[in-house]
Amino acid sequence: MSKYPIPARRTRAEIQVSNSRFVATLSPAFNVEAARAFIAEVKAEFSDATHNVPLFIIGHGASVITHSSDDGEPSGTAGRPALAVLRGSGLGDVAVVVTRYFGGTKLGTGGLVRAYSEAVRAVLAVTPRAEKVPTHTVQITCPYALYERLRQLIAQHSGLIREEEFAAKVTLRCEFAAEGLPAFQAALDELSHGRLNAEIIASNPAAIMPLGTLHPIST
C-alpha cells in the first residue's frame, strides 16, 4: 500500500466575510459512507444555517472518488472552488462541510468563490496531517533488568507500547511501522546480545500514523 497524507483528526475553522459567517468543518473519511455520515452530522448540527456546502475526496492520486455540491448557492460558486482547494492540499480520505450564515450583504459570484475557498484554506491550516502505513504488532518478553532500556529503544524506533504484563518477566506488545521493524530488531539484538526477539503477532495494512510524531493512532 502506498503512503499518502490524510487528516489526523477532525478540525474546524471560521472566517467572516462581509458579515457572513463561514464555518469549515473537516474530518477523515475512509469511504463514501463515512463521508456522507459526517456531512449529515454537520448539517444536523447547523440546521439553521443558510447553506451547508459538502465536499469530499476518498482515496488519493489517480484513484479517487470526489463529490461537491453548491447547496443552493449560485452554480459553481461554492462546492467546485472549495473542492479545488481541498484537492490542492494533497490530502486523501477527507471530507469538509462549509457552513454559511448569511449576514445580509450579497457577495457576488467572485466573492462567494473567494469566501468558500478561503474557508477551506483556513481549516486546512489547522489540520494536523497523518498518513496510512502498514504496521506490525510485536511481542517481546524481557527480564526486568532490561525493561527500562527496552522502553527507551522502542521509543527511539518510533514504536508504541500497546500492552505490558508483569510476571516473572515483562511482556510488551508494541506497534511499529512495518518498514522500521528490521532496524528495531537489529537494535534489540545488540541490546540483548541476541537473547530477545520481537515476534510479530498482528499486522495492520493501513494504520494511521500522525506525521511529525512517534506513535500511530489506535484504530
- Both 68 and 86 in one domain: the answer is yes
Range of the domain at 204: 131-210
Task: Give the per-residue pLDDT at 212.
Answer: 55
- For every residue of 55-116, DSSP letters joined together read EEEEEETTEEEEEE--TTSSTTSSHHHHHHHHHHTT--SEEEEEEEE--S---HHHHHHHHH
Cell of 114: 473567494
Task: Give the per-residue pLDDT at 158.
Answer: 86
Task: Give the per-residue pLDDT at 207.
Answer: 80
Which DSSP letter does residue 123 get?
Answer: H
The CATH number for 100's domain is: 3.30.230.30
> Which one of 92, 127, 162 terminates a domain?
127
pLDDT mean values, one per 10 residues, the chain (219 residues): 82 95 96 97 98 95 90 96 96 96 93 97 95 90 96 92 96 93 96 95 83 46
Task: Give the per-residue pLDDT at 215.
Answer: 43
- Both 79 and 145 in one domain: the answer is no
- Both 82 and 112 in one domain: the answer is yes
Cell of 204: 495492520
Specify the pTM: 0.73
Task: Give the per-residue pLDDT at 2.
Answer: 63
Residue 215 lies inside a defined structural domain of this protein: no
